[in-house]
Amino acid sequence: MRTEAVGFPTELPVLPRAPDTAAQSSDPRARTRTPCRDAVPSPAVEVAGPTLTLRYATAADADALYALASDPEVTRFFSWGPYRRRDEPLAYIDRLAGQRAAGEQLDLLIVHREDGPIGVTGLSELSRRDRRAVVGTWLGRRWWGSGANRESKALVARLGFERLGLERIGAYADVENGRSQTALERVGFTREGVLRGWHRHGDVVHDVVLFSLLRSEFDRSPLAAVPAQVRGELPQAFVVGPSAQASGGAAGGGATGAGAEPSSSGVIGG
């Protein structure tokens, strides 16, 4: 059964028409004036926390992404990278809008309030019927162990559960990536098992550990304690269920990662 997005009415109410004062005016200039009917575009979605903001990447962010993901240690467990040319992050950014519109991948740049872009998080493998998706995150090496993973995971979970209507967020970690596995468990994800021969990196096939966090578990997880505010227009292709918050409202408690291809790891560093 297909699940439709819950959102706006299909028809807008008809409002009383205001008198045409320009046509009645004796001033000839008034007759030539027409009201501006151009719609003001809604701002893109952003999720703000204590030190980080998640937002869409733009071409202006390409140099920062190149600096972060040209480090082979950052992309060690990925099917892509490290970046070798500056046109690679630009090509990645160019694909994002189409992937969002198709409901394929919702990648968000992780921006530190003082240091600027520090990584990427996002949601992929969306199932509208089952209201689930998979989160992936990568961070520049400087921010491993800094708490940025916890905060970015909290922000994307708040967006997914409370605004997009997801019921489950999964995550993968390479079986050899102990740091990623530990980080996921620390923020409340449950280890479910190993997916054998799941992820191909070139000619090598990797096993991955599968983790998950359910909507019913989120409020009891460490992530719920991180205050967050979601503002701007939600990506409609990813809205799969009722929203727990009014659009643009604040939420408080107490994403394949990105590059050339989705990441197989739930987090790098942490």
What pLDDT does 10 receive? 29
Angle 180-154-226 from CA coordinates, rounded to 5°? 125
Angle 176-159-131 from CA coordinates, rounded to 5°? 75
What pLDDT does 244 receive? 64
Q: Show the tokens assigned to 4.
A: 């439709």
Residues of the chain with pLDDT under 50: 1-25, 28-37, 246-270
CA distances from 116 to 53, 93, 253 (A): 9, 17, 25
> Left (φ > 0), alpha (ψ -120 to 50) or beta: where does 175 sit?
alpha
Q: Are 91 and 59 in contact (CB under 8 A)?
A: no
Distance CA 189, CA 181 (A): 9
Q: Are 111 and 243 in contact (CB under 8 A)?
A: no
Q: Return the SS3 of 83.
A: coil
Give the residue from 178, 117, 118, 116 showing the smallest Cα distance to 146: 118
* Whole-prediction pTM: 0.78
What pLDDT does 1 receive? 37
DSSP category for residue 12: P
What pLDDT does 40 receive? 55
Taking the CA atoms of residue 152, residue 179, residue 124 and residue 255 in that order, the dihedral angle to the nearest 10 degrees is: 10
CB atoms within 10 A of CB 100: 20
Distance CA 91, CA 259 (A): 9
- Residue found by looking up tokens 């007759």 in the block: 31
Half-sphere exposure for 22 (CA within 13 Å, toward CB): 8
Distance CA 10, CA 59 (A): 35
Give the residue from 142, 128, 131, 119 showing the smallest Cα distance to 256: 119
Distance CA 128, CA 125 (A): 10
Domains and their CATH numbers in the chain:
44-170+223-251 (3.40.630.30)
What pLDDT does 39 receive? 52
Tens digits of residue pLDDT in 220-247: 999 999 999 999 999 999 999 987 654 4
Taking the CA atoms of residue 158, residue 159, residue 162 and residue 163 in that order, the dihedral angle to the nearest 10 degrees is: 170
Q: Are strands 132-139 and 116-127 parallel, antiparallel or unpaired?
A: antiparallel
